[in-house]
Amino acid sequence: MKLGILISEGPYTHAASDTAYQFVKAALAKGHEVIRVFFYHDGVNNGTRLTVPPQDDRNIVQRWSELAAQHKLDMVVCIAAAQRRGLMDAAEAKRNGKDADNIAPGFRISGLGQLIEAAIQADRLVVFGD
């Protein structure tokens, strides 16, 4: 079955990203196809490579990057939400005249259309938020 995922909260404050991660892992283990993980609202903060959690804690961002690499997951960060919250890739940083970018491996920045497209193409869309 084709699954689309929407994550609406950032890492650590809310459980949404953790729950979504465990859900996606379980879905992949069962042979389902996760066609896209879309990060919206504060969820875009899951895509910053600058998080440094304590060593005895899970690394939420890195965990997503690794899962994406293993399973060729398409992880999309909403551009409008990302711009509001300071999440940038190199191209966006250049376009906006910023001196740094912070997007983590495996994430890409794109428009809200990607969420709608996932909703249309997936058999199920599951929303994780607060």
Partner 1 sequence: MAEAAEGGKVKKILYVNRKAPYGTIYALESLEVVLIGAAFEQDVSLAFIGDGVFQLVKGQNTKGLEVKNFSPTYRALEDYDVTKLYVEGESLRARGLVEDDLIVPVEVVDGARMTEIMEDQDVILSF
Partner 2 sequence: MLHTVNKSPFEHGCLGECLKFARKGSAVLLIEDGVYGAAKGTAVSKQVEEALKSVSIYALRPDVEARGMQHRVMDGIHLVDYGGFVDLVAEHDAVQSWL
Kindly list the residues in this chain that would bind partner 1 in the complex (CB under 8 A): 6, 8, 40-41, 80-81, 111-113, 115-117, 119-122, 125, 127, 129
Q: Of 37, 68, 75, 78, which is the active-site residue?
A: 78
Q: Closest Cα to residue 20, out of 72, 58, 60, 71? A: 60
Confirm or reject binding of residue 19 to partner 2 (CB under 8 A).
Answer: yes
**Closer residue to partner 1, CB minimum distance, 86 or 113:** 113
Q: Which residues bind partner 2 (CB under 8 A)?
A: 1, 3, 8, 15-16, 19, 22-23, 25-27, 29-30, 32, 124-130
